[in-house]
A and B are shown apart, each in its own frame.
Chain A
Amino acid sequence: MPDKPKVAFYWCASCGGCEESIVDLAEDILGVVAAVDIMFWPVAMDFKKSDVETIADGGLLVAMINGAVRTSEQEEMAKLLRRKSTLVVAYGSCAHMGGIPGLANQFDREQIMKYVYEDSPSTVNADHARPVPATGNGGPTLPAFRSMVRALDQVIDVDYYLPGCPPVPRMLKAAIGTLLSGKLPPKGTVLGPDTGLCEECPRKETKPADLSYTAFHRPHEVTIKEETCLLAQGVVCMGPATRGGCGAQCIAGNMPCTGCFGPTSRVRDQGAKILSAIASSVAAKDTEGIDRTLATIPDPVGTFYRYGLPGSLLRRKIADHN
């Protein structure tokens, strides 16, 4: 009997939601387990690094790596899995574009360390102790905490991307089927539809053709009407600039899309594009009026780059006004 294809799952700077999404396959997971040999899945069972090291180079069919890359340990594991694997899939928003952890790119390393270890309200640290990478004497070492958050393809070569925070089980199932079929799409493809979310949004018909904005509202500031397009209600929804495929689940939960699937393949910077689409339709024509309307979006970087900051064109905030 021929060997079953070998796969690995790994999590970098991750919340664990992507791992859960695999479990969310529910009964379908039995089909997966039957079709492949899982050689490495530390979240699920007691796998060690040496389990990966003993695999021959290219011995894995695919490594599905989720989470952003922040520490040297994550880099090391990513590079190791890259060697050992024929294909690497960047799984979930963090691996795809940096994800929510990517918002840390608005701060530099020192700002983060100082806040986490000293300034945060619940921290007591009179000695101003900070983590040290090594004590010497062969004692324990800590991985290096890098200066910025990276998407997976900024560290290793990536073959495919499965978008979403987390990816939806339906798309995971389809992706596995594709990878096992041998009929592989072009390298670098994002495994999902390539049109904006509005295409599958049930509220599309309620969006007026002549929508123009005088003010925006954050979700907690208004009662969001069900069944009416969120943008039409002045709530910033990333849907138009976000790849579809998720079934518009957030909209079904009466909340706006926040852009976790990233942009379509024709767009190089999702945040810039949604900025363009929304700003273009501001009603005012004079600078003061325009500014007044746009002031109701208090945090453009956080809003437009919620998942995609490391993967954006600028990647991170440049240290103090450069």
Chain B
Amino acid sequence: MPERNGHDAPRIGFYVCHCGHNIAGTVDVAAVAKFAATLPNVVVARDYKYMCSDPGQELITTDIREEKLNRIVVASCSPLLHEHTFRVATQKGGLNPFFFQMVNIRENVSWVNDDGKAATAKACDLVRAAVRRVAVHRALETKHVRIHPDVLIVGAGISGIHAALTLANAGKKVTLVEREPTIGGHMAMFDKTFPTLDCAACILTPKMSAVKNHPNITLWSYSEVTEVSGYVGNYTVKVKRKPRYVSEELCVGCMECIDACVYKEGKTPDEFNQGLSKRKPVYIPFPQATPQVVLIDPETCIEFKSGRCKKTCVEKCDRNAIDFKQKEEIREINVGAIILSTGFKTFDAKRIPYYGYGKFPNVYSSIEVERLVNASGPTSGELILRDGRRPKTVGIIHCVGSRDKNTNRWCSRTCCMYSLKLAHLLKEHSHAEVYNFYIDIRAAGKAYEEFYDKLLEENIHFIRGRVAEVTDWCARPEEKGKLIIRVEDTMIGVVRRVPVDMVVLAVGMEPNADAQDVRRMFNISCSTEGFFLERHPKLAPVDTFTDGIYIAGACQGPKDIPDSVAQAGAAAAQALSLIDAGEVELEPNTAYVVEEDCSGCKSCLAICPYSAISRDEAKQKAVINEALCKGCGTCVATCPSGAIRQNLFEDEQIFSEIRGLLEADEPILTGGEA
């Protein structure tokens, strides 16, 4: 017969919470308490208004003492909310905190049922299950792990930069990894930011510079994380540093090598300028790039392709910074916390072919226009179209790839404001007639509505309607040579044809193309839309379900710069909170092999994705490394001879729970069964 815990007979204290009206409004809590009193081993059964309150918890601690209880069951809200609270109360009463079981009769019962009778019956079944289960709980010790004080931040856009500075100023050592050759992210590409119309570079570059110079920040640009292992407080991360073929230590960013390059002019589409200009094989993304170091593109550099270049760049460099032999390096670091601030990508407007992006040269995406109006952009801030003309009319189409069940359902939050901003800037640069085609104007932030008001005074035209099509087919002679925007103007109920010289598509924000790969590497989840998933949308927007890993900025969902900075600060605060606590408690729901039960059949060895199970060759048995075990229990279910046990989720405990759920009308079973 199965071995008992070796405990004294269970003496269970049962408590059911009214939770004000939340539970008691549907479930007859008095009846549940009365019912619980009839269950085996239940010595005390009470109902109380708010079990999580101090007096509620005191009921538990007092009863443990006075009624000599050795098990506690609380029926109230979700264990995801208060399991910890009641474990602490149990411990305060002098018991091991794991002699506690929680029953969810709020989220799972009273909040999803209106039928009081059915809800009460369901609650009673769940209570009986918990009473059966807790009777076979064992005492367990929580593991304490020390937290490594260093932090890794992945992605150095405005969010990553802000988080890095916050943590570095608090005295923590930060490694900031950025896959592009420069930090700054999307914000570095913008011209002006709404609603203040601050120059983006002007407010960003001081922060970029601070990052570069901060003694506590190690900046690894042009680098990517390749592997993550470990657990909260003890992560080991491998970072691949891609070769620039230029020494970061020696290059001072004078850029004379670029002038000297055998290519007289650039032939490769410039990534930073969204392909609107060309660059040479040796280049720097933009003049204020941080770090201010050039790099060489091996795909287009003649020296790499043929080995026979004159290498005028090397000649010119009086620092001897160019090194064609530079190799990729893999570095390994240990950190206690990780912040992911990997940003977003813009919606690819080619997915909406009827807007003509990629077909008509004068249809632009918003990010391309940011570069056009930027003084350091491909046209030095002059509004010149691909065909050389200056536009006299511009149409800005909102919600491209957003709020659309054919592409992305969500609202990308920033596009209305940046469309208004671009409207203003385009008008300012060219005095063109500007039309904004919108569905709603979402101007919810501080001073945003006022910004919109100002635009209305600038004689920008607003047409409410979802644009059906951008076409070059002319219906009338005046339309020749223009792009026609066809839209139903819903305010007046008429389908209009608006001829423009330039179309700007307000493309939405999407998760990065490799978001799924990245999140798997860090073992966090994504929401259905593909953005990184926060632990709670309201109460824990920067935590993830993986302890020690935080998210900030647009990678968590579309948002503007103020919100990104706020989240970055929040993530830094969470990381600080973890690190300064010094150590963290881990739930002891790990699995272990009972050595005398193991037959060495090897069924479990390859099952563990964390490689926590190995074979002791001397003993010919499996053994689990407790530090690596994350407590999923997959090996326990796999073991064909029942030799592996999982703390908190033992077979016997789950079988007891199943029995308790169903035994309402258990007939006498013949033989065998105990």
Instruction: State yes or no: do A and B touch (Cβ within 8 Å).
Output: yes
Answer whether residue B598 sits at the interface, using C-beta atoms and an 8 A cutoff: yes
A23 CB → nearest B CB, Å: 29
Tell me the chain B residues, 529-546 only, with Cβ under 8 Å from chain A: none
Residue of A nearest to B598 (CB): A195
Known pairs A266-B641, A273-B641, A274-B640; A199 contacts B603 (CB<8 A): no
Known pairs A153-B672, A188-B1, A239-B601; A209 contacts B640 (CB<8 A): no
B655 CB → nearest A CB, Å: 7
Q: Which residues of chain B are within 8 angstroms of A195 by Cβ–Cβ distance? A: 596-599, 641, 643
In the complex, per-residue mask of B624-653: 1 if CB is within 8 Å of any chain A CB, else 0 = 000000000010011111110000000100
Among A154, A155, A188, A266, max chain B CB count under 10 A is at: A266
B481 CB → nearest A CB, Å: 53
Judge whether B640 and A273 touch: CB under 8 Å. yes
Q: Which residues of chain B are within 8 angstroms of A241 by Cβ–Cβ distance? A: 640-641
Answer whether residue B671 sits at the interface, using C-beta atoms and an 8 A cutoff: yes
Among B599, B602, B670, max chain A CB count under 10 A is at: B599
Q: Which residues of chain A are within 8 angstroms of B641 by Cβ–Cβ distance? A: 195-196, 240-241, 263-264, 266-267, 273
B170 CB → nearest A CB, Å: 43
A311 to B671 Cα, complex, angstroms: 10
A156 to B599 Cα, complex, angstroms: 32
Answer whether residue B381 sits at the interface, using C-beta atoms and an 8 A cutoff: no
Judge whether B602 and A280 touch: CB under 8 Å. no
Answer whether residue A79 sits at the interface, using C-beta atoms and an 8 A cutoff: no
Tell me the chain A residues, 49-91 only, with Cβ under 8 Å from chain B: none
Q: Which residues of chain B are within 8 angstroms of A156 by Cβ–Cβ distance? A: 671
B660 CB → nearest A CB, Å: 16
A144 CB → nearest B CB, Å: 17
Give the number of residue pairs across the A-B interface with Cβ within 8 Å.
102
A232 CB → nearest B CB, Å: 10
Q: Which residues of chain B are within 8 angstroms of A265 by Cβ–Cβ distance? A: 2, 642
Q: Which residues of chain A are within 8 angstroms of B2 by Cβ–Cβ distance? A: 265-266
Please pick, from B605, B634, B640, B670, the residue contacting A196 in the complex, using a CB distance under 8 A: B640
Please pick, from A158, A194, A268, the residue contacting B655 in the complex, using a CB distance under 8 A: A268
Please pick, from B605, B640, B670, the residue contacting A210 in the complex, using a CB distance under 8 A: B605
Answer whether residue B620 sits at the interface, using C-beta atoms and an 8 A cutoff: yes
Judge whether A277 and B603 touch: CB under 8 Å. yes
Q: Which residues of chain B are within 8 angstroms of A153 by Cβ–Cβ distance? A: 671-672
Judge whether B600 and A281 touch: CB under 8 Å. no
Answer whether residue A212 sits at the interface, using C-beta atoms and an 8 A cutoff: yes
Answer whether residue B143 sits at the interface, using C-beta atoms and an 8 A cutoff: no
A197 to B599 Cα, complex, angstroms: 7
Answer whether residue B615 sits at the interface, using C-beta atoms and an 8 A cutoff: yes
In the complex, per-residue mask of B561-601: 1 if CB is within 8 Å of any chain A CB, else 0 = 00000000000000000000000000000000000111111
Please pick, from A204, A212, A268, A277, the residue contacting B640 in the complex, using a CB distance under 8 A: A277
Q: Is the interface of A mostly helix, strand, loop or mixed?
A: loop
Judge whether A266 and B642 touch: CB under 8 Å. yes
Tell me the chain B residues, 36-77 only, with Cβ under 8 Å from chain A: none
Residue of A nearest to B672 (CB): A153
Judge whether A240 and B599 touch: CB under 8 Å. yes
Answer whether residue A37 sits at the interface, using C-beta atoms and an 8 A cutoff: no
Judge whether A154 and B670 touch: CB under 8 Å. yes
A174 to B361 Cα, complex, angstroms: 91
A138 CB → nearest B CB, Å: 33
A223 CB → nearest B CB, Å: 24
Known pairs A195-B599, A204-B620, A268-B655; A281 contacts B640 (CB<8 A): no
Known pairs A195-B597, A204-B600, A266-B651; A276 contacts B637 (CB<8 A): yes
In the complex, per-residue mask of A284-304: 1 if CB is within 8 Å of any chain B CB, else 0 = 000000000000000000000
Judge whether A240 and B672 touch: CB under 8 Å. no
Please pick, from B597, B615, B639, the residue contacting A277 in the complex, using a CB distance under 8 A: B639
A73 to B80 Cα, complex, angstroms: 57
Among A151, A241, A264, A280, max chain B CB count under 10 A is at: A280
Known pairs A154-B671, A186-B1, A266-B651; A198 contacts B638 (CB<8 A): no
A281 to B638 Cα, complex, angstroms: 9
Judge whether B599 and A277 touch: CB under 8 Å. no
In the complex, per-residue mask of B1-37: 1 if CB is within 8 Å of any chain A CB, else 0 = 1100000000000000000000000000000000000
A99 CB → nearest B CB, Å: 15
A106 CB → nearest B CB, Å: 20
Q: Which residues of chain B are within 8 angstroms of A210 by Cβ–Cβ distance? A: 605-606
Judge whether A199 and B606 touch: CB under 8 Å. no
Q: Which residues of chain A are within 8 angstroms of B602 by Cβ–Cβ distance? A: 198, 204, 207-209, 211
A208 to B605 Cα, complex, angstroms: 9
Q: Which residues of chain B are within 8 angstroms of A274 by Cβ–Cβ distance? A: 640
Q: Which residues of chain A are within 8 angstroms of B642 by Cβ–Cβ distance? A: 263-267, 273
Judge whether B601 and A196 touch: CB under 8 Å. yes
A195 to B603 Cα, complex, angstroms: 14
Answer whether residue A244 sits at the interface, using C-beta atoms and an 8 A cutoff: yes
Answer whether residue A157 sits at the interface, using C-beta atoms and an 8 A cutoff: yes
A112 to B642 Cα, complex, angstroms: 36
A267 to B2 Cα, complex, angstroms: 10
A97 CB → nearest B CB, Å: 10
A241 to B602 Cα, complex, angstroms: 12
Known pairs A210-B606, A239-B601, A268-B655; A277 contacts B671 (CB<8 A): no
In the complex, per-residue mask of A187-209: 1 if CB is within 8 Å of any chain B CB, else 0 = 11000001111110000100111
Q: Which residues of chain A are within 8 angstroms of B643 by Cβ–Cβ distance? A: 195-196, 264, 266
A134 to B598 Cα, complex, angstroms: 54
Answer whether residue B518 sits at the interface, using C-beta atoms and an 8 A cutoff: no
Answer whether residue B607 sits at the interface, using C-beta atoms and an 8 A cutoff: yes
Judge whether A211 and B606 touch: CB under 8 Å. yes
A306 CB → nearest B CB, Å: 15
B489 CB → nearest A CB, Å: 49
A266 to B641 Cα, complex, angstroms: 7
Judge whether A281 and B672 touch: CB under 8 Å. no
Q: Which residues of chain B are within 8 angstroms of A280 by Cβ–Cβ distance? A: 603, 607, 634, 637-638
Please pick, from A188, A212, A264, the residue contacting B606 in the complex, using a CB distance under 8 A: A212
Known pairs A157-B671, A209-B605, A266-B643; A198 contacts B1 (CB<8 A): no
A311 to B637 Cα, complex, angstroms: 20
A209 to B655 Cα, complex, angstroms: 30
Known pairs A158-B671, A209-B602, A209-B605; A240 contacts B597 (CB<8 A): no
A16 CB → nearest B CB, Å: 25
Known pairs A154-B670, A156-B671, A274-B640; A281 contacts B607 (CB<8 A): yes
A5 CB → nearest B CB, Å: 25
Residue of A nearest to B603 (CB): A277
- B residues near A (Cβ < 8 Å) are 1-2, 596-603, 605-607, 615, 620, 634, 637-643, 651, 655, 670-672
Closest 10 CB pairs of A and B: A266-B642, A196-B599, A241-B640, A198-B601, A240-B601, A277-B640, A199-B599, A196-B641, A195-B599, A240-B640
- What would 14 A/B residue contacts be, using CB atoms closer than 8 Å? A154-B670, A154-B671, A187-B1, A194-B597, A197-B599, A198-B599, A204-B601, A239-B601, A240-B601, A266-B641, A266-B643, A273-B641, A281-B606, A311-B672
Name 6 extra pairs, CB < 8 A, besides A151-B671, A267-B641, A277-B640: A154-B670, A186-B1, A264-B597, A264-B643, A265-B642, A280-B634
- A residues near B (Cβ < 8 Å) are 151, 153-158, 186-188, 194-199, 204, 207-212, 239-241, 244, 263-268, 273-274, 276-277, 280-281, 311
